[in-house]
Structure 1
């Protein structure tokens, strides 16, 4: 057993390898080199090293006290201005930390309600609009590049809606978070936004939780930013170059993740106590997009219904995030059963939900260390552009023909059609077709369900039931992502990681749809084009 106080690990036969690696890294002065931003830890070629050096700004938090005072003053001004709702329009690293904060803390009394719109689904957009008063809604445009198609489409739509209801000063209802010199910064200046916040260019999106991308939404929710800062600083001190590696929470975790991934335990399965239950949607993006490349990668498994130890294969590593303020009795028993069954397990204890900021930093650093172990660059996303380029090609064709080139259906059952190179006959039923497809799975496979429709409780129950049935029958891990959100999260892993995924894309005809201003297509067409673009990539 490895025990560092707040972290315990029972790794069985893998513990020796982890300890040997920690000893070797100690000899290589990895902690000092890491904090010195030594890019040769990851890659040897000079060009890649220069790119890596420009992605390590998240290691510095000196500006955080000044930002906290600034953000709290700004949040107070928003409350005093009478805003009741805040819509955050962004994708990936710009939206997932705010979503976790919203779900974990909710809005403090007197502060506006936060809605994260990281979608092109027209029903989701319309439902959000119908649930608020536009005249008392503040819009945050969040994008490092400032050119994300989802964010820009949503901006055009809501700007048009504000104009339609006669709002006199539309720019005063928008703020932006973006890099200096981005197209979004230009829009913010030209359209006289209420405010725009410039983010460090040397911090990648998925490592930006402790920058304005995470801190501004936190301030608008009324979260105690000083408590978050204290949590982050405590974790940074614990992970400093002065700490022995086996006592360094991030390096220890990163080595465990990397060595077990090399040994085939690459399905990182999250268990979380109640108040931390949404942490996985942020960690999923960080881990999948950082490690899923060069034919390697860790597959994060979030929100999978827990089963008996016997239903899990020998590709799992379980990590249990446990808050001492939660009732954890039942989860403790499940975790103990996994441990007794011989699965490698890690338990991380938090005092309360304010420790979340420290976990953001721990997992960012741990993921970077995993990159060292796997000999990959954890700060790029080389395959994400494939689906984007395919989407633009689909939209270009649509603009020419007025039609989407859908893949031919292989079989039908009622109103359901099935497409893809599955190997089933045209007369096969839906269940037969799925069975033929899923029999391609082997013990190290995973099945990704990719749903391009508005999330709902009804659909969530159906999809979770399907995940459980697939896991228990075929003994494989399952993931669930809603499009287009997952394209900015696990999409890199799907295309750049190990070729052990089976991908099931779920789409449906739109019952609600409306045009995107300044575009020749609707939100529904854009969403279907994104699905088709990713379908072609996979």
Structure 2
């Protein structure tokens, strides 16, 4: 254990933080007040009494001949489900996938896999007001109607907190069922509520075994044990100790099968610990680099799944440790242990928030970009067209990269293997300049790292990779816009807000062949060793 992490562990002991967290002591964090945000500490055990609704939905779907269940949700309402969906195969014939995009080609790719009469849509939103969820609900209601389904809303189920607009709609319009969330559990802490468990439930997995695995992590983080033996405390000491020591880039090294777990951790850390102009920048999915390309702003966590293809990450981890980087290894013995690891991360992030003196249960900087998007969409009702995204100069954007900062590649294109490889190529070229690189798809990232971008350290540079103009498309239901127009407005609203914060921002239209466009950007940097700006 390095000195900064050791100091973090000592600070936890001095604050009696573990015991106070288990006592639900709200004074651990500033600004929590009377908000009851600690219900997640009771899970997975508290969720055992809520399993019947999930199991009944699965059994009903099987009886109806459902072959595909599609979760329509964003951020904390879908990322845990996506983790579980990446780990388990269908056991009873129902396939499950998450759709957290409004990019038209991405939506069309999902539709190509579906048969209307054999599809169940799961609308997931804690607040019941998520714009993307409502737009996708209306889109797929129309899709089912066009396919001749007489009662399209019987092909929908809702997951939301009690009393939300989505719950009221589900009851009034005849959705198949409603699964209640727990208002005491925030979205990014909801892995063991129906928002997360819906995936293994629809896949026919044993929910009690999964919950028992989560309980292993919960018990390991219990009060009374020596801090050095508490995995949540050790991880919190890494997160807070390194950040307090001036290192703000948590770089995740992941076994390949844990890629989706990395996206869940990314949101948990970014939304919880990126605010008030400071915090932790999680770097997830970055191409592996030679150790000399990692700067002094980095610290590492290696999540290693036993038996996975770790041939590249194992030697890199050893070299990083040999080079003096702080690196914590978190061994995962098998896929069944991942629920326990998820609890450890939630516990650690809550503790780290206490040491960093920030509230890990709010997201105060998200609303500004939402307001800008809403204003753009409201203009459509008044007959105004959406403006094109401002065109940026890639070379100038690169020249403005900050030493010790990070670059965020934000894509509003369909998520494909070829596109992922091309983004990784561009990220690798930027990384060789000594800059940490994150990459994400919009609008997903708005509900994940968007809080960090606008509320965290002011050292980010943001490259919007998106068509300059919205597509020509019919509106969804009674609205003034379609899904592609919504995505375009969200990109424009977010770009405008980041520009208002005087951050390094550029928009790039990749043209008709986005992969070729990305490769062209990467080729401009190939072989470059230009130092970033200060």
TM-score by length of 2: 0.90
Match of 1:66 in 2: 49
CA distance in 2: counterparts of 1:72 and 1:506, whole angstroms: 41
Match of 1:87 in 2: 70
1:355 is aligned to 2:337: yes
Match of 1:501 in 2: 460
1:435 is aligned to 2:418: no
1:50 is aligned to 2:37: no
CA distance in 2: counterparts of 1:280 and 1:230, whole angstroms: 22
Match of 2:240 in 1: 258
Decide whether the 8 Å contact of 2:278 with 2:457 is kept in 1.
yes
Alignment of 1:286-435 (within 5 A): 286-406=268-388, 408=390, 418-419=391-392, 433-435=393-395
Q: What value does the CA root-mean-square deviation take over the aligned residues? A: 1.7
Decide whether the 8 Å contact of 1:123 with 1:512 is kept in 2.
no
> Aligned to 1:200, which of 173, 182, 191?
182
Greater displacement, 377-386 / 226-235: 226-235
Decide whether the 8 Å contact of 1:107 with 1:113 is kept in 2.
yes
> Following TM superposition, where does structure 1 have runs of at least 4 consecutive aligned residues deviating by more than 6 angstroms?
none
Structure 1 position 438, deviation (Å): 1.9
1:23 is aligned to 2:25: no
Alignment of 1:457-468 (within 5 A): 457-468=417-428
1:226 is aligned to 2:208: yes
1:534 is aligned to 2:518: no
Match of 1:413 in 2: none
Greater displacement, 86-95 / 258-267: 258-267
1:185 and 1:69, CA in 2 relative to 1: closer, same or farther beyond 3 A? Answer: closer
1:521 is aligned to 2:481: yes
1:471 and 1:131, CA in 2 relative to 1: closer, same or farther beyond 3 A? Answer: same
CA distance in 1: counterparts of 2:245 and 2:150, whole angstroms: 61
Greater displacement, 308-317 / 323-332: 323-332
**Secondary structure at the counterpart of residue 63 of structure 1:** helix
Decide whether the 8 Å contact of 1:321 with 1:349 is kept in 2.
yes
CA distance in 2: counterparts of 1:330 and 1:480, whole angstroms: 20
Q: Deviations over 1:150-208 (max 9, x none)?
A: 00001011112212222133232111110111000001101111110111111111110
Match of 2:121 in 1: 139
> Aligned to 2:86, which of 75, 98, 103?
103
Decide whether the 8 Å contact of 1:123 with 1:513 is kept in 2.
no
1:479 is aligned to 2:438: yes
Decide whether the 8 Å contact of 1:91 with 1:118 is kept in 2.
yes
Structure 1 position 129, deviation (Å): 1.2
Structure 1: stretches of 5+ with no match in the other structure: 2-10, 409-417, 420-432
CA distance in 2: counterparts of 1:359 and 1:25, whole angstroms: 20
Match of 1:414 in 2: none
How many residues are treated as equivalent by the alignment? 496
**Secondary structure at the counterpart of residue 275 of structure 2:** coil
Match of 2:515 in 1: none
Match of 2:147 in 1: 165
Structure 1 position 510, deviation (Å): 5.8
**Secondary structure at the counterpart of residue 382 of structure 1:** coil
1:489 is aligned to 2:473: no
Greater displacement, 174-183 / 243-252: 243-252
1:33 is aligned to 2:15: no
TM-score by length of 1: 0.89
CA distance in 2: counterparts of 1:270 and 1:512, whole angstroms: 40
Match of 2:220 in 1: 238
**Secondary structure at the counterpart of residue 449 of structure 1:** strand
Decide whether the 8 Å contact of 1:264 with 1:444 is kept in 2.
no
Decide whether the 8 Å contact of 2:7 with 2:241 is kept in 1.
no
CA distance in 2: counterparts of 1:156 and 1:180, whole angstroms: 21
Q: Deviations over 1:22-73 (max 9, x none)?
A: 2343243222211111011112x6xx3212xx11110113432223354334
CA distance in 1: counterparts of 2:8 and 2:170, whole angstroms: 49
Structure 1 position 327, deviation (Å): 4.2
CA distance in 1: counterparts of 2:296 and 2:403, whole angstroms: 8
Structure 1 position 511, deviation (Å): 6.3
CA distance in 2: counterparts of 1:478 and 1:254, whole angstroms: 23
Greater displacement, 342-351 / 99-108: 99-108
> Aligned to 2:404, which of 444, 465, 468?
444
1:352 and 1:513, CA in 2 relative to 1: closer, same or farther beyond 3 A? Answer: farther
CA distance in 2: counterparts of 1:535 and 1:511, whole angstroms: 18
**Secondary structure at the counterpart of residue 49 of structure 1:** coil
Q: Deviations over 1:335-369 (max 9, x none)?
A: 11111111111100111111111111111111111
